[in-house]
Amino acid sequence: MQEHFDATIARDQRVEPRDWMPDGYRRTLVRQIAQHAHSEIIGMQPEGEWITRAPSLRRKAILFAKVQDEAGHGLYLYSAAETLGADRADLTERLIEGRQKYSSIFNYPTPTFADVGVIGWFVDGAAICNQVPLCRSSYGPYARAMVRICKEESFHQRQGYELLMTMMRGTGAQRAMVQDAVDRWWWPSLMMFGPPDGDSPNSAASMAWKIKRHSNDELRQRFVDMTVPQAEKLGVTLPDPDLRWNAERGRHDFGTPDWSELKRVIGGDGPCNAERTERRRSAHEEGAWVREAATAHAAKQERRARAQEGAVA
């Protein structure tokens, strides 16, 4: 069994739910997919706060669609975790009780509408850097979910960038608002890729199993290289005095994020951790009647289908 698994990974083929897999592989995947699903769902909150306050019907419709997409991403991913034997209700409990993590980035506040644009540009942009290689992840259901999700993430990134372009063509106050949001989100966005490679305990196993294809630092570098020219085109500066093109490497050099901040935010002590988890808990409790009604409806449908089969027989 182990041999078959190893050969599948070596040949770059997909592992499917029915296949034998090592316990560590299954555990690592459940953890990663659950954290990813939680991030999509918690990620609805910072921007969701702006749906009622978006400045036009067009912006409201776009933002509404985007936030709804994130709900869909969460649902695909919980389903992928279920193919590994995880129980979705249990995963939700773990999130609400703080026993399972979600991306640190969603613990930062969104005080202005420019934050909506910068989240699309940076956060969805970082998500694309992270997730495009996951389309080739060794676990089939995860890889396939990623293909669909990535298509929507590019829409998210473009809507953010287009929103910022529009604001940059506006008043001085609007341009200042964009620059302020860029200054606040840049470093937390770099932290989205996780701790530096030397300090990332789970990375080596994930790379060997081909769950992950690139290291945290490599993905961070790609994000910086992709974003710098976009910032120039937009007309904003990135808040890093060490950021410069390195002709020898053919890549940008950049400063070191404040890793103690990342540790703090992951540890539960970011600006909005308590608020995000509490909102998730109350939404879950308020939705109890929907889950009960859906379960009752499904049971009724099944009884009817069975009764009909009985009648035919």
Rounded CA-CA distance 125/262 in Å is 19
Q: Which of 117, 124, 137, 185 binds Fe ion (CB under 5 A)?
A: 124
Residue 106, Cβ density class (10 Å: 0-12 exposed, 13-18 middle, ≥19 buried): buried
Give least dist CB 157 to Fe ion, A: 8
As measured in angstroms, the least distance from the Cβ of 99 to Fe ion is 23
Binder among 36, 73, 214, 280 for Fe ion (CB under 5 A): 73
Distance CA 214, CA 211 (A): 10
Candidate segments 15-23, 68-76, 131-139, 280-288, binder of Fe ion by CB under 5 A:
68-76
Asked if 47 is part of the footprint of Fe ion (rule: CB under 5 A), the reply reads no
Sign of CA dihedral 264, 268, 274, 276: positive
Question: Taking CB under 5 A as the rule, does residue 70 contact Fe ion?
Answer: yes
Chain centroid to CA 228:
22
Stretch touching Fe ion by CB under 5 A, among 45-53, 73-81, 90-98, 217-225: 73-81
Comparison of 40 and 240: residue with beta carbon closer to Fe ion: 40
Which amino acid is present at 81? A
**Rounded least distance, CB 131 to Fe ion, Å:** 8
Residues 141-180 that bind Fe ion (CB under 5 A): 153, 156
The footprint of Fe ion (CB under 5 A) covers 40, 70, 73, 124, 153, 156
